[in-house]
Structure 1
Amino acid sequence: MSSNASKAPYYYVPAPTRHPIVTSIGLAGFGFGISQWVNGSTAGMILCLAGIVWTLVSLYSWFGDAISESESGMNSVNVDVSYRWSMAWFIFSEIMFFGAFFSALFYARSIAMPWLGDIDNKLLWPDFAATWPNGGPGGLVEGFKTMGPWPIPTLNTILLLTSGLTCTWAHHAMREGHRKQVIQGLTATVLLGALFMCFQVYEYIHAYSELNLKLSSGIYGSTFFMLTGFHGFHVTMGAIMLAVVLFRTIKGHFTPENHFAFEGAAWYWHFVDVVWLGLYVVVYWM
């Protein structure tokens, strides 16, 4: 919301728009393209990348319209409440998303592994050892090494925890009307998030080239890359959100009383931090 909220109607309902259908076309192209890409289709790769570009352009236009509506004073306190509930439910859906991946890891390690190693299943897989990580029966999976917590994961943990502090500092500065401190705190947060992603890219290169750890490395490899990869995607999205908030702060869009765009991005960033702490313990230490 902007400082023009006093002029807003009781509840602003935008006119019919092309944005949902246009964005859906881009997402459909992305989904179909990536399904073909993973099966070795060059055309699938092109369609996937085109879908990403299409979606990003559509979202840029869509969010631009939403920002213009806010800055023109169309969003009342009732719209603000709707935004807060929507963001809360969105983060809840993300909790369920990561909960499914953590549950898959727990099931594989604590339920499926002992079950596959019991006396009954020894008749089917006599060479199977119920240990974690696991290479499957009969050495079907290429040998690999696991990813330990030192040094990159621990360093990334420090980076994300520090970014949570700088984000909170920026939030308090926003509420007190110290715009310069807001800009400094948000800049530090975005840079720390970008540095986190650089280290994760390096970690993936190290995993593939030196540890032979890949997505195809059994249940360990698939859960490792699914959990850390999707978290990295969320860090990227959170950093982009905060960068947009930083740009809007520089342009003077927010006031100490009305700045939910900042708060929503901050909620998301703290959620990403908490998920990483779970990943750091469960994936790298256990």
Structure 2
Amino acid sequence: MAQTHDANVYYVPHHSPWPFIGSITLFATALGVANWFNGHAWGQTLFFIGLAATLGVLAAWFGNVISESISGKYNAQVDVSFRMGMMWFIFSEVMFFAAFFGALFYARQFALPWLSGEGDGALTNQYLWPGFTAGWPSNGPAGIGGAFQTIPAWGLPLVNTLLLLSSGVTITIAHHALKANRRGALIFWLGATILLGTVFLCVQGYEYVHAYQELGLTLGSGIYGSTFFMLTGFHGMHVFLGTVMLIVIWLRCMKGHFSPDHHFGFEAVAWYWHFVDVVWLGLFLFVYVL
């Protein structure tokens, strides 16, 4: 006999295998990449097996959550929990990027001037790096990172800025269409957001190839190269994940999921996408322009 759920009771799933299985697949992924980087050939195989298994767990786990949602098992209290969880998740992402922006600030404002002899760094400059003067972008004392050229801010980075800002507008229009129960407009504008995100990733991929092959700008190009690729690379990864989430939400909208009054799954992805937009504005200003 099928059991029904009391809407007045906070829903807690029973006997879910996904946390246990997910911990195993994540451990396999970490073990694989660690051994791969340390020269063990089997590590690469284990890494990709673990990664594929982790993606499978996530797909199945979120599939369960979607099924529970559309079957009406979630009440208002569960909705509040989801909102708090998403807010804390985005806060953790803010702090993640803050660490990299902090590294960029420290290198430019403290480390490079100290290596050039400012403050109490005179002896370091005299005996270890004589003749080094602080400047940005820097390939490091004695040109450790090799010669390179930077990417002009008003070229491809500006194009990507316009793409992401436009995507923030399209997903907002899609959200308003959902609240007005206009399915056609919702699907169109959400699809446009996915397209803009995909084009952004393609432009960034081309930018990376151009930087490596023609500008000599690599991850090993001193402190500038390392901070540039760490910040833009992790942001690109977040854009990719956000695009995947948008595709899932778009497919759900095509199937008739969400209603004008109950659509936090859509809102959560929209919050994440706007966060990605804001981070890019900081990247554009502090990495490309200044």
**TM-score bracket for the superposition, by shorter chain length:** over 0.9
Is 1:43 equivalent to 2:42 in the alignment?
yes
**Residue type of the alignment partner of 1:169:** I
Worse-superposed segment, 240-249 or 131-140: 131-140
Separation (CA, whole Å) in 1 of partners of 2:98 and 2:78: 30
Match of 2:126 in 1: 123
- Number of corresponding residues: 281
* 3-state SS, counterpart of residue 141 of structure 1: coil
Is 1:278 equivalent to 2:277 in the alignment?
no
- TM-score normalised by L of structure 2: 0.93
Match of 1:146 in 2: 150
**Residue type of the alignment partner of 2:28:** G
Separation (CA, whole Å) in 2 of partners of 1:20 and 1:284: 41
Identify if the C-alpha distance between structure 1 residues 219 and 37 changes in structure 2 by more than 3 Å, giving closer, same or farther.
farther
Match of 2:18 in 1: 19
Separation (CA, whole Å) in 2 of partners of 1:35 and 1:127: 39
Deviation (angstroms), 1:45: 2.5
Worse-superposed segment, 226-235 or 50-59: 50-59
Higher RCO (CA 8 Å, separation ≥ 6 residues) = 1
* Conserved? CA contact 1:9–1:74, under 8 Å: no
Identify if the C-alpha distance between structure 1 residues 76 and 193 changes in structure 2 by more than 3 Å, giving closer, same or farther.
same
Separation (CA, whole Å) in 1 of partners of 2:44 and 2:274: 33
Match of 1:168 in 2: 172
Per-residue CA deviations over 1:87-123 (Å, capped at 9, x if unaligned) read 0000000000000000000000011111111133222
RMSD across aligned positions (CA):
1.5
Q: Which runs of 5+ in 1 are unaligned?
A: 1-5
Q: Percent identity?
A: 54
Match of 1:78 in 2: 77
Deviation (angstroms), 1:38: 3.7
Is 1:223 equivalent to 2:227 in the alignment?
yes
* 3-state SS, counterpart of residue 197 of structure 1: helix
* Conserved? CA contact 1:176–1:256, under 8 Å: yes
* Conserved? CA contact 2:139–2:146, under 8 Å: yes
Of 136, 141, 164, the residue aligned with 1:137 is 141
* Conserved? CA contact 1:9–1:75, under 8 Å: no
Deviation (angstroms), 1:142: 2.0
Identify if the C-alpha distance between structure 1 residues 36 and 148 changes in structure 2 by more than 3 Å, giving closer, same or farther.
farther
Q: Which runs of 5+ in 2 are unaligned?
A: none
Match of 1:3 in 2: none
Separation (CA, whole Å) in 2 of partners of 1:164 and 1:82: 25
Match of 1:240 in 2: 244
* Conserved? CA contact 2:83–2:268, under 8 Å: yes
* Conserved? CA contact 2:139–2:225, under 8 Å: no
Deviation (angstroms), 1:216: 1.2
